[in-house]
Structure 1
Amino acid sequence: MFEALQPAPPDKILALMAQFREDERENKTDLGVGVYKDQYGETVIMRSIRAAEKRLYDEQKTKTYVGLQGDKSFCAAMGELVLGNTVSPDNYRVCQAPGGSGALSIVAMMLNRARPGATVWISDPSWPNHIPLLAGAGLKPKSYPYYDPETGKIRFDEMIATLQEAEAGDILLLHGCCHNPTGADLTLDQWKAVTELCWDKGLFPFIDLAYLGFGDGLEEDAAGVRLMAKTVPECAIAASCSKNFAVYRERLGAAILVGADTKQLDTAFGQLLSVTRSVYSMPPDHGAAAVRIVLEDAELKADWKAELETMRTRMTVLRQDFADALRRESNSSRFDFIAGQKGMFSRLGLSPDQIDTLRNERGIYIVGDSRINIAGLPGDRLDELARAIVSVTG
């Protein structure tokens, strides 16, 4: 059996992580791994989550299964967090999932049951795991133009023109906010235009919401998603708690289905739960229980929001300071786009050879497409880092 298998291609980001760990240089810099880091380079447990975990330890009385849907109170809280009061709870269903990736997977498998081999349109570029994940569910990926590396802006007219070729029943994958890997987000007016296109052409929006609260704030980041959800007859949202609650290793997310026809919505949700039964049966509980405690407790929720806002603000300041440092070192506006983008990531527009040089000669680790983790920037060494980057650009 095993002799028929070929070696799987290595994950480039995981390989970069391993290479960084083995690097013995003291001044090495990790800008590749997509986790939030504080000013000390640590990915800490949030205060509210720590308090919730202590309460959970004292109060939890069983470790029995939580059921196919997961923690129903967590699901209700996540539905409210993502959709607010723009969609009635009667018109959406929520399933706990093992991470945002798990939510993407189970929704994709459910959609493939509804329309086997359906086309799913994915932005160019997008998170590298989108294509293998959705293709693995049986869907057929196609790309639409999204980002212009020369200007650091969205190719919106080209995006809309290409999506005019989509057919009714096609799936449109959108990043809810803080686009990964570019940091270039749709404006609310652009969300309105995409929403109208989905309505006119009968497209099914599938929104990956991995960084809620990391862009302009919780309400602002959700605005486009909510506009879409309250307008189109059906859509799906895969929300992650990894970043905004910093529960990466707990693998916590939520799959949200929205539909105007509640009977059809219940059928779709039943199929979604059937998918979970066939894949992992029951979701893990610990992370969901902790996040549920935070969202249901007014004091803990307020503290979580405050800490999340501190994280968001820190990244915004780092963006501006880094763009300023690059402007000083390059004596140009080449990198000014970084300051206007959102969330954890931006692309520097470096070549693979330039990235290799930075890693080999300076100990600066950047993903091969030149995506950097803004939260990984060393705030006290931005001029040094900018000088190194400019030195390889010629």
Structure 2
Amino acid sequence: MFENLQAQPADKILALMQAFRDDPRADKIDLGVGVYRNAEGITPIMRAIKSAEHRLWQEQTSKAYVGLAGDPAFADAMIRLVLNNAVPRENIAAAATPGGTGAVRQAFEMIRLANPDVRIFVSDPTWPNHLSILKFMGVETVAYRYFDSQSGGVDFDGMMADLGALRKGDVVLLHGCCHNPTGANMNLVEWQAVIDLLNDKGAVPMIDLAYQGFGDGLEADAKPTRMVASQVPECLIATSCSKNFGIYRERTGMLMAVSRNADATALNQATLAYLNRQDYSFPPDHGARLVSMILNDSALRADWTSELEEMRKTMLGLREQLAGELQRLSGSDRFGFIAQHRGMFSRLGIDPEKVEKLRADHGIYMIGDSRINIAGLNRETVPILAQAIVDVGA
């Protein structure tokens, strides 16, 4: 039977990771994989996580199952972190998931259950796994313009024109902050215009919020999501704790479903539990337990918030340094948008041939569309990258 299986296309990011590992050059630079790294190239365990783990080791007395939707304390803590009373608690259903990817997948499953003929509008570009999962599930996707490669900003006019084709019951996938892969974000005026259009068309927003705290801070990064949730009849919010808590391997995420009233919330909650049961039964608890411990303890939360701010400001500093270095070397402000982008990623607007030349000649690895992970740099490697970009004529 299994001889009938067809080879699946390789994941470009995973393939790039392997190529980087196989490269023997000592001065190679990895800007592909989307994890935060400090100046020493290490993805650190945050101080608050370490403290919470030590406390959990001392206090936990059982590893029994928690529940199909995960620990209610985790749901309450994450809802407060993301929505902060923007929506009444009784209007929010929530379930823990294996990472942000699990939340995204469960959101797509819930959407398909509600409307098998749904169309999901997806930004061009978007995180590649969005499209991969939707293709695997057989869900129709419609691309909407998002990134202006000339300015390095949002093509808002193009976006609104494409979303004008929305029909009632369609879903629009939006990045809550720190757009992946471009780093370009809408401002609040533009978010409001999108909300008004969604309500006018009767379309449902789905927000992927994977980087809260990595852009302009925890509260500012959550503001667009809170605006959406408080102004539309219903929406889905997929969240991840991988980046802002640094617990990538613990696979800690949550899907929230915001609805009109408590009756709708009850149905949504039962549906989320049902979907978890079908896909993986009980979600992982270790990372979720650590997150809820931190968010519910004032000292741990203060330490976590402080370290998260250090990480955010480090990335902003690297952005400003890279933009300045490129301006100095090239005599052009073409790459000035790098300092305006937010989060871990920026798309540089370099063609694939020059991206390949950066890899072959300089040992600099980035995705073929020229997306770079800012957190893969440090103050010593920024000048090396800038010089290489100028050398290849980008």
TM-score class, shorter: over 0.9
Choose 355-364 or 122-131, whichever is displaced more. 355-364
- Counterpart of 1:212 in structure 2: which amino acid? Q
2:236 counterpart SS class: strand
- After TM superposition, give the deviation of residue 349 of structure 1 in Å: 1.1
- Aligned residue number for residue 359 of structure 2: 359
CA distance in 1, matches of 2:164, 2:269: 29
Q: State the 1:141 CA deviation.
A: 0.9
Cross-structure match for 2:69? 69
Query: Where in structure 1 do 4 or more consecutive aligned residues deviate above 6 Å?
Result: none
Tell me what 1:6 maps to.
Answer: 6
CA contact (8 A) 1:109 1:138 kept: no
Query: Which moved further from structure 2: 193-202 or 264-273?
Result: 264-273
Where does residue 118 of structure 1 map in the other structure?
118
The answer to whether the 8 A contact 2:97-2:253 is kept is yes
- Letter of the structure 1 residue corresponding to residue 351 of structure 2: S
Conservation of the 8 A alpha-carbon contact between 1:208 and 1:238? yes
What's 2:220 paired with? 220
Q: Which 5+ residue runs of structure 1 have no aligned equivalent?
A: none
Is residue 2:163 matched to residue 1:163?
A: yes
Offset at residue 135 of structure 1 (A): 3.4
- Quick one: distance in 1 between partners of 2:374 and 2:121? 27
- Is the 1:98–1:284 Cα contact (8 Å) retained in structure 2? yes
Q: Which residue of 2 aligns with 1:133?
A: 133
- Offset at 1:64? 0.7
Structure 2: gaps of 5 or more residues: none
Identity of aligned residues (%): 51
Q: Is the 2:239–2:255 Cα contact (8 Å) retained in structure 1?
A: yes
CA distance in 2, matches of 1:374, 1:331: 22
Equivalence for 1:275 = 275
Distance 1:17 1:53 in 2: 29
Distance in 1 between the 2:211 and 2:383 partners? Answer: 28
Q: How far apart are the structure 2 equivalents of 1:260 and 1:63?
A: 36
Contact 1:213 1:312 (8 Å CA) reproduced: yes
Q: Which residue of 1 aligns with 2:45?
A: 45
Q: 1:171-213, CA deviations, whole angstroms, 9 ceiling, x for partnerless residues?
A: 0000000000000001011111111111111110000000000
Instruction: Give the stretch that moved more between structures: 324-333 or 171-180.
Output: 324-333
Cross-structure match for 1:60: 60
Please give the secondary structure, in 2, of the residue aligned with 1:184.
coil
SS in 1 for 2:392: helix
Aligned residue identity for 2:213: G
**Contact 2:93–2:268 (Cα < 8 Å) also in 1:** no
1:345 aligns with 2:312: no
Query: Offset of 1:270 from its aligned partner?
Result: 1.1
| Counterpart position of 1:255 | 255
CA distance in 1 between counterparts of 2:12 and 2:267 reads 39
Residues in 2 aligned to 1:96 and 1:75: alpha-carbon distance in whole angstroms:
7
**Which amino acid in 1 is paired with 2:12?**
K
Structure 2 counterparts to residues 318-333 of structure 1, below 5 A: 318-333=318-333
Q: TM-score, normalised by structure 1?
A: 0.98
Q: Distance in 2 between matches of 1:387 and 1:191?
A: 37
Map of 1:96 onto structure 2 = 96
Q: Report the residue type matching 1:81 in the other structure.
A: L
Query: Partner of 1:393: helix, strand, or coil?
Result: coil
Equivalent residue, structure 1, for 2:203: 203
Distance in 2 of aligned mates of 1:199 and 1:135: 27
Q: Name the counterpart of 1:374.
A: 374
Q: Using a 3 Å threshold, how does the CA distance of structure 1 residues 371 and 176 change in structure 2: closer, same or farther?
A: same
How many angstroms does 1:48 deviate by?
A: 0.1
- Which letter maps to 1:172? V
SS in structure 2 opposite 1:174?
strand
How many correspondences in the alignment? Answer: 394
Are the aligned partners of 2:45 and 2:246 in contact in 1 as well (CA < 8 Å)?
yes
TM-score (norm 2): 0.98
**Matches of 2:274 and 2:163, distance apart in 1:** 32
- Of 156-165 and 235-244, deviating more is 156-165
- State the alpha-carbon separation in 2 of the partners of residues 224 and 278 from structure 1: 32
Q: Secondary structure at the match of 1:173?
A: strand
Question: Would you say the 8 A contact 1:36–1:376 is kept in 2?
Answer: yes
Partner residue, 2:143: 143
Aligned equivalents of 1:393, 1:156: Cα separation in 2: 29
Question: Equivalents in 1 of 2:273, 2:135: separation in Å?
Answer: 20
Distance in 2, matches of 1:26 and 1:174, equals 39
Deviation at 1:83, TM superposition (A): 0.1
Residues 106-145 of structure 1 show CA distances to partners (whole Å, capped at 9, x for unaligned) of: 1110110100030000000000010121333442111000
Amino acid aligned to 1:95: A
Q: Which amino acid aligns with 1:354?
A: K
Matching residue of 2:235: 235
Instruction: Map Cα deviations across residues 227-279 of structure 1 (whole Å, 9 max, x no partner).
Output: 00001010010000000000000000010010112212211221121111000
Deviations, residues 68-106 of structure 1 (Å, cap 9, x unaligned): 010110111001100002111111111111000000111
What's the C-alpha RMSD, in Å, of the aligned pairs? Answer: 1.0
The answer to whether the Cα contact below 8 Å between 2:98 and 2:251 also exists between their aligned partners in 1 is: yes
Which amino acid letter does the alignment assign opposite residue 184 of structure 2? A
Equivalent residue for 1:180? 180
Q: Distance in 2 between the 1:117 and 1:35 partners?
A: 35
